[in-house]
Amino acid sequence: MPTDPDLGELLGALYEGPLEDPPWSSFLTLLRSVFVADAVTLLLNAPLQSAPDSSAPVANSRMQLLSDGGSTSHIESYTQGQFLLDPMVNLPAGKVISLREFMSEAELLASEFYQVILAPQNWYDFLAVDLRVNGEIDARMRIGRYRGAPRFGEAEKQRLQDLLPHIERAIRLHTRVRRLESERAVYAGVVAQMSVATILLDENGTIVSCNELAEALLAEGDGITASDGHLVLCKREQTNELLALVSRVFQAQQHNDIMAVEALRVERPSGAGDLGVLIRPVPGAEARQVHSIPTVAIFISNPESQAEAPVQVITRLFGLTPTEAALTMLLTNGLTLDEASLELGVSRNTTRTHLRSVFSKTGVSRQTMLVRLILKSVAPLA
């Protein structure tokens, strides 16, 4: 690869690109400068598939177009349908091709692609390359120049060709980061829906992150709060006990004992129910090598929080009517039959009739069994 004075900066922006929002903003800007181009685009999850009965490309709902330069309106037009006119699809993977290599001048001038897209938008020449990364994501990169600029030469083609292994690696990193973010969002959503506050600590016991429930709980300051980035309980001896348990779990984590678990009950000055605190290691956290990463997870259950599930989910899972489902959730949240009757605005006898129907449909015979059934089901995750 040539020793370009901009190479280090270019590769740095490329590999940091997956962390930007939108991805690769800095890299695309630098790449446009290096190639003295008017626009650079990177199309991810490109619509390279064909319809079952046609060789024409079809739209992909997951398509993401990243760009630097060019006209915003032109880019929007392309993503909204003009890509269907683009003949430069299904190119040999990993091979840089210029527009005039792909089509002769006569073919180009006669094409709908030229007449509808290139000529009105004053485009003159392109470098094009398609990448297929891990069989998971297709990518198209296009580097374009307006009329009046010189055509791309062999040296420029080779420069982009030399960059391709790095671009492919960066796209693989992007794919992995996106997958991990999606998985994390799913698990975080499940934990939040179960009304569990989650706090992540680093190896020094400093708070790294909290979910929304944890932030609200700490802001409330009833039994547990945060001071200078550390957890503080309402009593000094309980704070010391928490620190000791966190230290014990951290030591277990250092010995790859990811099954270590400690627990603590936290009193609340308000008189509300005690908080239940569970402490366990974060799997895969190599704190010896990297500082300030999550190494210990703290999960806090609040007995004052209520289980929530959409009535329609309960009706579908257990075959209940909307009224029966509403009654079931009221009982699950600790209301008595009389309190549930008042909440529903019906008589106690009507409520008892609904409850008997719920018992019959769910196969249980007592309220405690019904509550256990609901809490163990997937309903609270809805």
pLDDT score for 100: 86
Token pair for residue 353?
Answer: 């009739």
- If we measure between CA atoms, which residue out of 173, 168, 103 comes closest to residue 141? 168
Of residues 302, 350, 358, the one with CA closest to residue 329: 358
One pLDDT digit (tens) per residue for the chain, 382 residues: 444 557 889 999 999 998 898 899 999 999 999 999 999 999 887 444 444 444 444 444 457 788 898 766 655 665 555 556 677 777 888 999 998 888 888 888 888 888 887 888 888 899 999 998 876 788 889 999 998 999 999 999 999 999 999 999 999 888 888 887 777 777 777 666 667 889 999 888 899 989 888 999 999 999 999 999 999 998 899 999 999 999 999 888 888 887 889 999 998 999 888 899 999 988 765 544 555 678 889 999 877 766 566 788 888 888 999 999 999 988 888 889 999 999 999 999 999 999 999 999 999 999 888 988 887 787 766 6
Name the DSSP class of 17: G
For residues 147 and 119, give the distance between their C-alpha atoms in angstroms, rounded to a whole number: 9
Q: Identical fold at 194-301 and 311-381?
A: no
Instruction: Sheet containing 64-69: give its strands across.
Output: 64-69, 39-44, 137-146, 123-133, 97-98
Class of the domain covering 194-301: alpha beta
311-381 classified as CATH 3.40.190.10 = no
Domains of the chain by residue range:
7-181, 194-301, 311-381
Handedness of CA 78, 79, 80, 86 (dihedral sign): positive
pLDDT at 72: 62
pTM summary value: 0.63
Which pLDDT score is estimated for 309?
66
**What is the model's pLDDT at position 230?**
94
Contact 298, 199 (CB under 8 A): yes
pLDDT of residue 182: 79
pLDDT number for residue 283: 77
Which pairing describes strands 275-281 and 262-266: parallel, antiparallel, or unpaired? antiparallel
Q: Environment class of residue 47 by beta-carbon count within 10 Å: exposed (0-12), middle (13-18) or buried (19+)?
A: buried
279 near 264, Cβ under 8 Å? yes
d(CA 334, CA 339): 9
**Predicted pLDDT at 246:** 92
Instruction: Return the pLDDT at 75.
Output: 58
The correct CATH number of 7-181 out of 3.30.365.10, 3.30.450.40, 1.10.3720.10, 3.40.47.10 is: 3.30.450.40
Q: Which class for 126: exposed (0-12), middle (13-18), buried (19 or more C-beta within 10 A)?
A: buried
